[in-house]
A and B are shown apart, each in its own frame.
Chain A
């Protein structure tokens, strides 16, 4: 495989970081719908880990 450009290496990690920070702050600074947005944002990195580590598939198989 060829050497990847930095943008490709860092794209998803930076995005996940920003999503996490958004979630952390939105629950702190707001209430109501901001809490729901925070939950929605912060499960994204968790889901990414589950999918990529295939824990997800193990769950589906039971």
Chain B
């Protein structure tokens, strides 16, 4: 195949993969921008009183007491899970009218992890007004369409990855006679923007690829967890199927389950306890998520199963490789793993991505004659 034909073919791939995904990619870039600073914006908008100042070595309060307070407030509801923060001194108790009910009926009670005092009893997501960050997150992950939205944006992300790759391929022939970073400003607006599109695109290509690919992986998290549940998890739970289902009023102590899990995985930090019956848990256990303390291992979670009837340790679960991959791909997409400077760098790359997207559309709009000339020139060179 002649080089020209080859280039034309890549050009076609670049044009169509880009055109189809551009509108959605613009949405992702724009909504992603505030999400980079989610934590900071959250803090800024929060009207909560600051945590009580206590000595650093203050022991943590008993989890059973917090759960008891929560149950007294909502005696007819079921405990869903506990979030045990490792950055702020808080424990968040989550309850639902029914564990099989709509996820947006879940509501939170925030406790001080050291005093055990109830700090806040919030209404459920269904009863709260849409927040700015919540809106951004929905638009960014599923466009209010649940799994279908996630898979659709996953597909758009995949097209984006192909458009980056084809863009890189086209960069070679395009720069044959140009020095790196040439921006021809004198001749026409279109030429100037073509040069800018190529320069900014190639300089940010590695970042675009990494954030694009990890974004695609993130959109697959629902099916990947589902796959795990119907394979490994099901196999593991089958061995307990003769056990009586724990009754919600007679569960063993949550604090003891916490201690048992901590003993089973010393050095790991416990981040959450999923109650038996939760759709993301098991029917028989407290499912306790723990994470490591090194830069990388703090991204990898190890679940521990504690029998919710007896409080005895049942298993320390090894996550499959594809879920470990998913866990590592999260920070690489969010950019939240290297302090504030990295977040700022992430935002700047994001803005450059927006420029590449918009200039790409512009170049398509003014395309025709311009590319006819470009191909004519390439073919005349080939014939020499």
Residues on A lying within 8 angstroms of B by beta carbon are: 1-4, 6, 9-13, 16-18, 20-21, 24, 27-31, 34-35, 38-39, 42-43, 45-46, 48-49, 51-54
Contacts and interface: CB of A to CB of B under 8 A. Distances in A.
B202 interface: yes
Contact of B199 (A4, A27, A42, A49): A49
B345 A46 contact: yes
A46 B349 contact: yes
Contact of A45 (B196, B207, B296, B338): B207
Interface residues of B, number: 35
B172 A48 contact: no
B27 interface: no
User: Which of B180, B183, B348, B349: most chain A CB closer than 10 A?
Assistant: B180
Contact of A3 (B176, B296, B328): B176
B172 A28 contact: no
A27 B207 contact: no
Contact of A10 (B172, B181, B337, B338): B172
Contacts of B50: none
B352 A49 contact: yes
B202 A28 contact: no
Interface in B277-321: 295-296, 299
Contacts of A42: 207, 342, 345
Contacts of B203: 13, 16, 45, 48-49, 52
B204 A30 contact: no
B345 A21 contact: no
Contacts, number: 99
Interface of B: 171-172, 175-181, 183, 196, 199-200, 202-207, 210, 295-296, 299, 328, 331-332, 337-339, 341-342, 345, 348-349, 352
Contact of B338 (A4, A35, A48, A51): A35
Contact of B180 (A1, A12, A45): A12
Given A28-B331, A53-B196, A46 B348 contact: yes
Given A9-B172, A45-B203, A1 B345 contact: no
Specify which of B178, B206, B296, B332 lies most central, judged by the most chain A CB atoms within 10 Å of its CB. B206
